[in-house]
Amino acid sequence: MASRLNLREFQQDLSNRIHAQGRTGDQISTLGVQIADQYWLVDMVNISEVLSLPPLTPVPLSKPWFRGVANIRGNLYCVADMAAFQHKGETVAAIANRVLLVAERHAFNAALLVDRVLGLRDVRAWQQSDVDGQIEYRDGQGALWRKLDVVGLLDRTEFLQVGI
C-alpha cells in the first residue's frame, strides 16, 4: 500500500510542478526516462500516466519485446519493453521500473516499459542536434539524451505487429 501512496504522491507532485510551470509561462513538458543504459526524453503530451509495473499476462507467440497485457482500472494495455524493442536486451525487473501509458488521444492502449523515470527535464538550455533524423541533446554535465518519438513509434509496423 505504501508504494501505491508513493506513486500517487509522485504523480500529484509531477502534476503540480507542470501546472506551476505553466502559470509562469515557462512550461516544462518533457519527462526524462532511462531505457537500458540510455537517457530518453518523452513529451508529456504523449503520455497520460506513469505507473509501477502492473501484473502482466503473457501472450503466447508474441515477439520477445512484447511483455504481455496488463489490466489497468478495467482496461487492457499492451506492454512493450522499450529496451528489448530497441535491441538493447530486456529490462531487468526492478522496483524502479515504470510503464508510461500512451495518451488516450492516440487511441492506442499501449504502455511503454522503461527502466526508471528520472523526472522532468528542462531542455531549453541544452545543446540540440539532429543525427540521422534522431533529435539528441547534451545536458549541462555532457550526458547524451535522445527524444523518444511516441507518435512515430505508434506508426511503425514493427511496433504494431506483436505476433511472431
Which residues 6+ apart lie within 8 Å of 97 measured at CB?
Answer: 52, 53, 91, 113, 114, 115, 116
pLDDT tens digits, 116-162: 999 999 998 899 998 888 889 999 999 999 999 999 999 999 999 99
CATH number at residue 79: 2.40.50.180
Alpha helices (runs of H) in 25-105, residue ranges in sequence order: 82-85
Domain of residue 129 covers 2-160
What are the E-state strand segments in the chain?
Answer: 30-35, 38-43, 47-52, 66-72, 75-81, 98-102, 110-114, 116-120, 127-131, 134-138, 144-147
d(CA 119, CA 68): 26
Exposure of 53 in the CB half-sphere (CA atoms within 13 A): 21
- The amino acid that residue 3 corresponds to is S
Indicate if the pLDDT at residue 18 is higher than 80: no
Number of domains in the chain: 1
Question: Cα dihedral sign for 43, 7, 67, 88?
Answer: positive
Write the pLDDT tens digit of every residue in 85-102: 999 999 999 999 999 999
Contact in structure between 38 and 88 (CB atoms under 8 Å): yes
